[in-house]
Chains A and B, each alone.
Chain A
Amino acid sequence: MPERPDNPRASEPTPPPQGLPVGVEEDLPVRHAKPKPNIRVPALNITSFLDMSFALLTMLILLANFSVGEGVLTANIPVGIGGVGKTDAVQLPKLPITIILDPVAGKPDDVLIRVDGAPFTSVTGFTDLGDQLARNRRDPRLNPNGIIPDDTPIVIRPESAIRWQHVVNAFNAAVRARYKSVSFAQTAEDLSGLTNGK
């Protein structure tokens, strides 16, 4: 596209001043119209910056890990053969409360909850388990009539086929009821597995 002159009239010949015959030119100063400066709108080229920002945004969205918030439940674990940090069995009270998790026949994702050593046996779910454990926990200030001291060991004993979700759920119920010593029972499979070097 041809460039348009800033002032089209500037290139035209200047007409002779009036009052003089044609062909006679007076030596007068001629005012030429000055060309208009080409005023550009100030602009900031941020194209590359925007490209970069979008690339960064896309990368962060793709790499973002929409993970759920994680928390921890501190647990005592069973100690096997040759374990260095063995627990002294003498220090444990003789009558712990054992939470037994049994699988349901034909329903691998379900669980049956039994409680051994507690004044209650029927438990409908993990929320109920936590509520009953809390209701029976002795607290000198809040629940002096509770019959289970809070230092009574709670032992979780899941069967092998139980899902880890239920195990953590049972553990959480005991911790939620604010018992001080919650641990896992050691199973025969643990011992045999380690002995066989599995």
Chain B
Amino acid sequence: MARRRKVDLPRPELNITAMMDLVLNLITFFVLVANFASETLPNIQMPAPDHSVAHATEAQRRLAVTVESDPADPSKALRIQVGLDKFKPTDLKDITALLRAQVQKAPGLQVDLRGDKRLRYDQVSLVMQAIANAGITTINLVAESPAQ
């Protein structure tokens, strides 16, 4: 019986170089974007009301104002962040000026007030007053949504 000659087949390989390039590009992009997103929304202890009716908002023009508490004394404000800009709790006039400029640039801008739940009311009410002085009379109080 004649023996069939076996052909030495080339080893199959998949060139994934282009895919790796693309993956690296995507990773870089997402890391950059994720950093920006988390910078505007600092992690704080959110108020969790009983039977919360807090709802998601569809507003396009929104600006987050976050009042962070001092780790040494959580009842006191440590920092106020408006968008990406950070202020001391005493810089209320600067906050008002910034918000006024933002409202002039984008009329209909909505402000989401994110306050740490351990803060004293007087620490947050001054920020609310600063927001009001910028011509904004309606704000969104951010709280845990009922699904949580």
Contacts and interface: CB of A to CB of B under 8 A. Distances in A.
Q: A and B, one complex?
A: yes
Interface of A: 34, 36-40, 42-46, 48-49, 52, 56, 59, 63, 65, 67-85, 87, 101, 108, 125-127, 130, 158-165, 167-169, 171-173, 175-176, 184, 186-187, 189-190, 193-194, 197-198
Contacts, number: 210
B128 interface: yes
Contacts of B114: 70
A176 B53 contact: yes
Contacts of A44: 12-14
17 contacts: A36-B6, A39-B8, A39-B9, A69-B147, A73-B53, A73-B143, A77-B138, A80-B129, A80-B133, A160-B120, A160-B122, A160-B125, A164-B47, A169-B50, A172-B52, A193-B126, A198-B90
A158 B8 CA distance: 85
A160 to B, nearest CB: 4
Interface string B24-60: 0001000100100010010100111111111111000
Interface size class on chain B is 35 or more
Contact of A171 (B118, B141, B147): B141
B144 A68 contact: yes
B133 A83 contact: yes
B102 interface: no
Given A82-B133, A85-B136, A163-B75, A77 B128 contact: yes
Contact of A197 (B93, B116, B134): B93
Contacts of B12: 42, 44
A163 B121 contact: yes
A184 B112 CA distance: 16
A70 B147 CA distance: 9
B20 A72 contact: no
B41 to A, nearest CB: 8
A106 B12 CA distance: 76
A39 B11 CA distance: 9
Interface of chain B: mostly helix, strand, loop or mixed: loop
B7 interface: yes
Instruction: Return the 3 tightest CB-CB contacts between A and B, nearest first.
Output: A71-B54, A71-B145, A172-B49
B92 interface: yes
Interface of B: 3, 5-9, 11-14, 16, 20, 23, 27, 31, 34, 38, 41, 43, 46-57, 75, 90, 92-93, 112, 114-126, 128-148
A111 to B, nearest CB: 10
A108 B144 CA distance: 22
Nearest to A177: B53
A63 B54 CA distance: 26
B121 A70 contact: no
Contacts of A161: 75, 120-122
Contacts of B7: 37
Nearest to B144: A68
Given A63-B34, A161-B120, A197-B93, A127 B115 contact: no
A158 B24 CA distance: 52
